[in-house]
Amino acid sequence: MNKKVHVQDLGLKDYKETWDYQEQLFQETLDLKIRNRREELSLETPNYFLLVEHPHVYTLGKSGDISNLLVDEKVLADKGATFYKINRGGDITYHGPGQIVGYPILDLDNFFTDIHKYLRFLEEMVILTLAEYGIKSERSPGETGVWLDVGTPFARKICAMGVRASRWVTMHGFALNVNADLGYFDMMIPCGIKGKAVTSLNVELGKKEVDLDEVKQKLLKHFQVLFEAEIKEKTEV
């Protein structure tokens, strides 16, 4: 099993460009798995972990409800935002500057073949990272992602998740609000869940800004331990 994970920090990058890049890596891995099976080979499949910030964008999962986007295309354009309907699970999500978006493109045959365990490990990675800032976060029953004050009137989401998997190869991932402009969340019903607020790490800490690179390194540290992975960092595509 190949547990080497190639990490690429893409910086601020257009959503569609990043999605296309994800699809390329995802398809190359799938093709290699199919070739291994067809030709009875045992070539190692690669694993990737892309980190990125996106310009303002809204994405709707394949089972999502478009009515959860509360504004029309003109309002989005006025706000400098774009919209895409995509092939992950989940409902509507916002991405923007000040948010760490992570796309692990893993062959789970290299780790464990359990998609629920995979999601729980991604959540745990975020929970452990936030704990390093003194923030107690947790899961909310039946709602993927990471939350604060679950079960109270003050419940609020700090990290959204939505993944796709085929032949145990994953794509899409998580979005952790670090220095996010929370006003953009007002233009949608986040993840289609009504009456739940959204927050950001800088708001919870009462800071204007939190060091994004520091948060990324903490996420990778916990990812490495949880997945027993060997991290290979590469800053450029």
The span from the CA of 177 to the CA of 191, in Å, is 14
User: Interhelix angle for 212-226 vs 115-131, to 10°?
Assistant: 130
Among 108, 146, 191, 212, the one annotated catalytic: 191
| Phi-psi region at 147: left, alpha or beta (left = phi > 0; alpha = psi -120 to 50) | beta
List the Cα angle 171/177/183 in 5-degree steps: 120
Nearest to 70 by CA among 214, 81, 181, 62: 81
191 flagged as catalytic: yes
Residues of the binding site for substrate? 88-95, 160-162, 173-175
Going by C-beta distance under 8 Å and a sequence separation of 6 or more, which residues neighbour residue 204? 133, 135, 148, 158
Beta-ladder partners of 143: 140
Residues of the binding site? 88-95, 160-162, 173-175
The strands making up 82-85's β-sheet, listed across from edge to edge, are: 82-85, 57-60, 92-95
The span from the CA of 95 to the CA of 61, in Å, is 13
User: Which residues are designated catalytic?
Assistant: 191
